[in-house]
């Protein structure tokens, strides 16, 4: 769950009021974040935690907060996309009640399938 670089366009969307951004900090600096776009359904566009701060529950807390906030704002559900081979992320999403909604073959640059997971509010 660490991205080589953030996606500035998504951050602009979230900061414009069409989305949500929550940040996890340690020692006075950001070490993780979740960025969610809002519509009838919310979409978790980015969830990242710096490698040195993983296994501390930060990703769980960030995602739980984003889901709760999206549902409080009237979204019908929350979805996200994960690489079929990303077992660590899939375990997190499973633990929070996300279920497989559909698959998108050849979605990733490596030819991997994207699993679109979601949960209703």
Domain boundaries, given as residue ranges, for the chain: 8-120
Q: What is the pLDDT of residue 3?
A: 47
Q: What's the gap between Cα 99 and its chain centre?
A: 14
Selection from 40, 38, 42, 47 nearest residue 14 by Cα: 38
Q: What torsion do the CA atoms of 3, 114, 18, 120 make, to the nearest 10 degrees?
A: -120
Give the best-scoring range by mean pLDDT among 18-22, 26-30, 64-68: 64-68
Q: What is the pLDDT of residue 41?
A: 95
Q: Residue 34: which H helix or E strand, with range?
A: strand 29-37
The CATH number assigned to the domain with range 8-120 reads 3.40.630.30
Q: Tell me the average pLDDT across 34-59.
A: 93
Burial of 50 (0-12, 13-18, 19+ CB in 10 A): middle
Binned at pLDDT 50, 70 and 90, residue 50 comes out as very high
| CB-CB contact of 104 with 117 (8 Å) | no
């Amino acid at each position: 769950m660490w991205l080589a670089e953030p996606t500035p366009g998504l951050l602009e969307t979230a900061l414009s009021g069409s989305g949500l951004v929550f940040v996890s900090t340690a020692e006075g600096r950001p070490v993780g974040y979740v960025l969610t776009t809002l519509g009838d359904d919310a979409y978790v566009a980015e969830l990242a935690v710096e490698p040195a701060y993983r296994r501390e529950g930060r990703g769980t807390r960030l995602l739980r907060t984003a889901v709760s906030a999206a549902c409080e704002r009237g979204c019908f559900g929350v979805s996200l996309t994960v690489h079929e081979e990303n077992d660590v992320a899939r375990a997190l999403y499973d633990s929070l009640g996300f279920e497989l909604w559909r698959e998108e073959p050849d979605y990733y640059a490596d030819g991997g399938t994207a699993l679109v997971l979601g949960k209703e509010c």
